[in-house]
A and B are shown apart, each in its own frame.
Chain A
Amino acid sequence: MKFGVVVFPGTWSDCDFHYVIGEVLHQPVEYIWHRERNLAGFDCVVLPGGFSYGDYLRAGAVAGRSPVVEALGDFIAGGGLALGSCNGFQILCEAGLLPGALMRNECLQYRCQSTHLLVETVDTPFTRALRVGQVLTMPISHGEGKYYADPNTLRTLKQRNRIVFRYATSDGQVTKDANPNGSLDNIAGIVNEEGTVLGLMPHPERAAETAMGGTDGLSILQSLLGTLVEDGGFLRR
């Protein structure tokens, strides 16, 4: 499975995703410059964290209109997968590839901390290796991660089972205290209608090695590869 990691001016999780995909997951991976429009040959395009174009407008607003993101629509329509983490999630929302918006954290401060994520659906290529109700541990690092969507959109997300991760306690309770940024319904990650585009605020690449404190983030990338999980729960796609 070939991954592409997009580099915008101001992106900083690009090297981390590249390292995890190449050195930990042992999959082919290349950087994609933000001016690139040709995404042929990639199976999954990663939009990493950072401050694309400085995020001096709204987070992700400029990157959401960049050449590479404009090309992403056709790539996804052609069956390609896209994963946006942190700034990548903000960009996907700004580009209209995912619904809703990410607003300033309710505490009005940047937050870097460990969070627990309740897995709400395994019916996506990104979560097939997981179990519904499983709790993942992954760090967040953002100032604008408060997810918002209008009531109709939220209803659709729920009906179509498109809320993938919600902030929860370590034992899986979705509570206000477990919500680090004031996100609507504790939403931490969602997918598009087809399940081929995942956006999440937490950083899976920072939870991909035991030395870094855990491997729950790696399981998202492993899901894409169709690796068998412990219980043999699913087979290669």
Chain B
Amino acid sequence: MTAPEPKVTVDLANGLGLTAEEYDRIISRLGREPTYTELGLFSALWSEHCAYKHSRVFLARLPQRGARVLQGPGENAGAIDIGDGWAAVFKMESHNHPSFIEPFQGAATGVGGILRDIFTMGARPIALLDSLRFGDPEDPKTRRLIKGVVGGISWYGNCFGCPTVGGEIAFAPEYAGNPLVNVMCVGLVRADRIFRARADGPGNPVFYVGNKTGRDGIHGATMASATFDGHAEERRPTVQVGDPFTEKLLLEACLEAMQTGAVVGIQDMGAAGLACCTSEMPARSGTGMEVELERVPRRETAMTPYELLLSESQERMLLVAARGREAEVRSVFAKWELDAVEIGRVTSGDELTVTFDGDVVARVPVEALAEGPRYQKPMAPPSWLAERQAWDPATLAQSKDYNEALLELMASPAIASKEWAFRQYDQQVGINTLVLPGSDAAVLRVKGTRRALAVATDGNGRHVFLDPRRGAAMAVCEAARNVSCAGGYPAGVTDCLNFGSPERPEILWQFAEAVDGIAEACRALDIPVVGGNVSFYNETSGQAILPTPIIGVVGVLDDAERLATQSFKAAGHRVALLGPPDVSLGGSEYLWCRQRLVAGRLAPLDLGVERRVQAAVRSAIGAGLVTAAHDCSDGGIAVALAEACVTGRTPIGCTVTLPEGGRWDGMLFGEGPSRVLVAVDGTAAREFEALMAESAIPWQWIGVTGGDRLVIRIAATAIVDLDLLRIDHAWRNGFERHMA
């Protein structure tokens, strides 16, 4: 028995997340009142999560083209040409809202969703990266979230069989009620074998493949498009439940089916499930689709058309096959013991027609569903911003003991080793991982070629909070710099833009500024944005997160043997600092650790210098001149040096002298863009100097590796002089001590 359908009213529409204006728009588009099922379709597809209604006008500003771009935004994932006939397919997505409600399954299905986005393109996933943000790990509730999220990622990624090779974990109180779980996946496919989410060819059969449909995740997309109040846990039924084993079977079956040549197009049933696929696929192809819902494989009884269309059950795909080749598709999925059921066909019209036991339950132009409303709401800089920026570093008392200050920074959870999380992730399956997690970027070889990919994610909410435009540009620069420090040239960007409610003018201003910053940096560094995701409404009880754009960069190494990692390799190597001297304590980790304060101005960013520094680092690595390269970021040069000392196979000390200029804590811990630390074997020093001279960048020798201490001098004073064992201990235990 099914309950009678609710009567369609504007109140019902409001309850499903649609505004009165949007409801009117639906009526005028259809020329009539929508049915209950149709209203469900619109509420899901016009949700912020699916329709990008507040962000789309801004996202158009991002550079999306480039010689290497094989697929830009608008598909399941972006793709770039990496040479030798191969393409890297990659994308980052958020699963913030579900992960707060149910951290284990929320994070797990975030991994599942991004994996499907990659293999629907025909690519085999080779790497996952997770960018996570939490509240203070001192808080038991936050620790529960961290354990759940890391456990969920570990469970899904490990069982599926894709290595987790990178990402970052950072902390700020603003994330306590809204953790961020951004997951990036990279896959490989032959450049001429990329599949797309299209429903071409009227008459072609439409197959439902994969897991059966249940009631989990109904209105997940709508849930992800609202802020939380104190009752977030009550929304737990909107979180999907993952099955990584079925996902693994789905991967193998999809790739095998694609090999047959019988697949015309394919799309992941992610947010808004069947509703999304059955409207977006024909919308891309200028076709229509007929779907007979009673054919959909189910694992629960008495499901209504509404539920079948909006369920976000995991591990499912919609596949359009070539007519006459249905048997080939069926036989591959039968081999992998998965459902492959013909549920409809592509039509020549422009409508999605959904029937259930012969009754038409929805008939809607696909364009109306796929093209949601677009808004450009009012925006304004936050009233408090000028005051925050006006913070004067002179008000900060100089530290009395720089050894202690450095140890405190190394033990700060944001900087300390994340081994506790990474050892729970398989990092090597696929035997491609040349550089494991823990260096600036992970490096994965491309078997059968000399090439490798370098991948990194970055994003600093504090920087963006204080200066959205520059902070976001700096995030692009840092992620690209990390890739350059591994020896790869940055080839493509995916971004995940995490913000509060766009209906608040100051949040939308942060968003617009950040998008402009990303666009400027990507243009200057010549890296196209090929895909990504916007996550708004990251607010709980009125508290928005720090504005946090996360940038994922994929880079290419033409010679996998010419790579660099961040740690010092031997004693007696000369240490150089490349890049400008400008740093700031504004928004720094040091200021946070000392005063729990987010204030001040960011260091200047010169994108031309940034570009040249990265090029210089890559040239030096490519010429085999450097034995280590490490980006100076959180915690400044002192932390970068300490990390280079203790993160290698054996600890190697160093003694450096910093040129005089400004206050000592700023010189040690101030943060600024475009700065890279490198180590050079003495025999290569002359050649290195010549290369740097050609590069036209500021740089200088600052010291030499060796010994079992880190010694940092300013003029004649050794202001830091620490045993590496103490540094190592602080760094290894800083995060882990909270989690053990």
Contacts and interface: CB of A to CB of B under 8 A. Distances in A.
A24 to B, nearest CB: 10
B605 to A, nearest CB: 36
Which label, helix, strand, loop or mixed, suits the secondary structure of the A interface? mixed
Contacts of A20: 431
B427 interface: yes
Interface in B246-290: 246, 248-249
B161 A50 contact: yes
Given A19-B447, A53-B245, A9 B337 contact: yes
Nearest to A139: B428
Interface stretch (A74-82, A107-115, A124-132, A223-231): A107-115
A10 B424 contact: no
Given A13-B429, A16-B430, A113 B159 contact: no
Contacts of A109: 151, 154, 423-424
Interface stretch (A93-101, A147-155, A187-195, A204-212): A204-212
A159 to B, nearest CB: 35
A20 B161 CA distance: 17
A15 interface: yes
Nearest to A211: B434
Contacts of A56: 245
A203 B163 CA distance: 14
Interface in B331-384: 336-337
Given A50-B161, A112-B423, A211-B445, A141 B428 contact: yes
B245 A141 contact: no
Given A113-B423, A141-B428, A212 B434 contact: yes
Nearest to B252: A9
A110 B154 contact: yes
Nearest to B154: A110
Contacts of B336: 9
A12 interface: yes
Nearest to B448: A23
Contacts of B428: 112, 139, 141, 203, 206, 212
Contacts of B424: 109-112
A60 interface: no
A54 interface: yes
Interface in A1-51: 9-10, 12-13, 15-16, 19-20, 49-51
Contacts of A9: 245, 248-249, 336-337
Nearest to B124: A15
A60 to B, nearest CB: 14
A55 interface: yes
Interface in B140-166: 151, 154-155, 158-161
B560 A211 contact: yes
A12 B248 contact: yes
B425 A212 contact: no
A84 interface: no
Given A12-B161, A211-B445, A51 B245 contact: yes
A143 interface: yes
Pick from B424, B429, B430 the residue with the most CB of A within 10 Å.
B429
Nearest to B245: A54
Given A51-B244, A53-B245, A111-B423, A10 B159 contact: yes
Nearest to A7: B252
A28 to B, nearest CB: 19
Contacts of A205: 431
Contacts of B155: 110
B368 to A, nearest CB: 40
B427 A112 contact: yes
Interface in B409-461: 422-431, 433-434, 445, 447
A110 B158 contact: yes
Nearest to A206: B428
B365 to A, nearest CB: 41
Interface residues of A, number: 30
B243 interface: yes
Contacts of A110: 154-155, 158, 424-426
Nearest to A180: B423
Contacts of B337: 9
A149 B423 CA distance: 27
Contacts of A139: 428
B199 to A, nearest CB: 29
A16 B426 contact: no
Contacts of B151: 109
Contact of A112 (B245, B425, B561): B425
Contacts of A12: 160-161, 248, 429-430
B482 to A, nearest CB: 21
A16 B431 contact: yes
B52 to A, nearest CB: 35
Contacts of B248: 9-10, 12, 51
Contacts of B560: 211
Interface string B502-539: 00000000000000000000000000000000000000
A51 B445 CA distance: 24
A16 B433 CA distance: 12
A9 B160 CA distance: 11
A5 to B, nearest CB: 14
Pick from B244, B336, B425, B428 the residue with the most CB of A within 10 Å.
B428
Interface string A52-81: 011110000000000000000000000000
B250 to A, nearest CB: 11
Given A9-B336, A16-B429, A141 B434 contact: no
Nearest to B253: A9
A53 B337 CA distance: 11
A52 to B, nearest CB: 9
Nearest to B452: A211
A141 B243 contact: no
Contacts of A16: 429-431
A211 B243 CA distance: 33
Contacts of A53: 245
Given A16-B431, A54-B244, A211-B445, A141 B426 contact: yes
A48 to B, nearest CB: 10
A51 B337 CA distance: 16
Nearest to A14: B161
B164 to A, nearest CB: 9
A199 to B, nearest CB: 19
B124 to A, nearest CB: 9
A36 to B, nearest CB: 13
Contacts of B426: 110, 112, 141
Nearest to A50: B161
B468 to A, nearest CB: 37
B429 A141 contact: yes
A10 B336 CA distance: 10
Given A9-B336, A10-B159, A112-B423, A15 B245 contact: no
A51 B159 contact: yes
Given A112-B424, A113-B423, 9 more contacts: A9-B249, A12-B248, A15-B430, A16-B429, A16-B431, A54-B246, A110-B425, A112-B428, A206-B428
10 contacts: A10-B245, A49-B429, A51-B158, A51-B245, A55-B159, A203-B428, A205-B431, A206-B431, A209-B431, A211-B561
Interface of B: 151, 154-155, 158-161, 243-246, 248-249, 336-337, 422-431, 433-434, 445, 447, 560-561
Closest 3 CB pairs of A and B: A12-B161, A54-B245, A51-B159
